[in-house]
Amino acid sequence: MVARYELIADDLRNEIVSGALPVGSQLPSEAELAERHGAARGTVRQAVAVLAAEGLVGSRQGARRIVLGRARSQSFGELHSFAQWARANGYRFGGQVITQRRRAASAAESARLGPGEVLEVLRLRSLEGEPVLLERTVYAEWVAAAVERIPADCESVTEALYDSIGLVFAYGEHLIDAVSAGAEDARLLGVRRGSPLLRQRRVTTTHEGRPVESSDDRYRAGSVTFSIRNSIGANPLVRQAGDLRSGR
């Protein structure tokens, strides 16, 4: 069942992506869109809210909406899963488990994932034949067994876990910064020690808010970029200070 407002949003998005509504141009008014699609105004507003959330259009009270950009945002799955992202963008990609072991959870890990044992997995992912990403992932005890059953060269861990135990990654928190490559990072990614890496730390939970995994992912510099489009009134991304003040 596809919602009416999704169809209207698709329609408008196609006009933007195709260039029929160029960047900087005005969208039709809500009244006109409502008449064109035979829908109520509220439904049209839901549709343009989708486009606004994608960063494609902006709006201000009293004036027509304008087109801000043509790039289509990808889904949560594509941010969460390297495989889903790479596939959606037509890249050749691969993955290989380097090491995998169970151990007791540290205090910090207990706080994030719950008490007990954790499963620590080191995975190297490649894009277009080159190693680009080193994932150090810690899984909560309740998914550890399912993760251990996954082949070492599995393309998509996310999909494997969905197929095997119906696990859906629903919410994530991500911290993005830059770090120096350590000895292991450098060896596996094929860069010099101390060279820059883009780091994405994340904690992911299920629909119910149950923590699944905590990960430290490091990208070779130049291999990927994170992109965000925002506006006054929208605030998806936040800047946080590091360890600047004494006592922190």
Partner DNA sequence: TAGTGGTCTAGACCACGGT
Partner DNA sequence: CCGTGGTCTAGACCACTAA
State the Cα–Cα distance between residues 200 and 47, nearest whole angstrom.
31
Site for its own copies in 81-110 (CB under 8 A): 85, 89, 91
The length of the chain is 248
43 binds, among DNA, its own copies, none (CB under 5 to 8 A by kind): DNA
Choices 48-56, 100-108, 136-144, 182-190 (CB under 8 A): range interacting with its own copies: 48-56
Helix axes 157-165, 141-148, angle to 10 degrees: 100
The tally of CA atoms less than 13 A away on the side-chain side of residue 86 is: 19
Q: Which stretch binds its own copies (CB under 8 A): 5-13, 76-84, 136-144, 151-159?
A: 76-84
Where residue 80 falls (left for φ over 0; alpha for ψ -120 to 50; beta otherwise) is alpha
CB of 93 to its own copies, least distance (A): 10
**Residue 209 is a binding residue for its own copies (CB under 8 A):** yes
- Residues touching its own copies, count (CB under 8 A): 76
60 binds DNA (CB under 7 A): yes
Nearer to its own copies, 27 or 143 (CB): 27
- Angle between helices 41-53 and 4-18 in degrees, nearest 10: 50
Q: How many CB atoms lie within 10 A of CB 56?
A: 26
Contact between 73 and DNA per CB under 7 A: no
* Residues 6+ positions from 123 with CB-CB distance below 8 Å: 95, 96, 97, 98, 134, 135, 137, 157
Give the one entry of DNA, its own copies, none that residue 195 binds, where binding means its C-beta sits below a cut-off of 5 to 8 angstroms depending on kind.
Answer: its own copies
70 scored as a contact of its own copies (CB under 8 A): no
Stretch that binds DNA, among 43-51, 73-81, 93-101, 217-225 (CB under 7 A): 43-51
Q: Does 124 bind its own copies (CB under 8 A)?
A: no
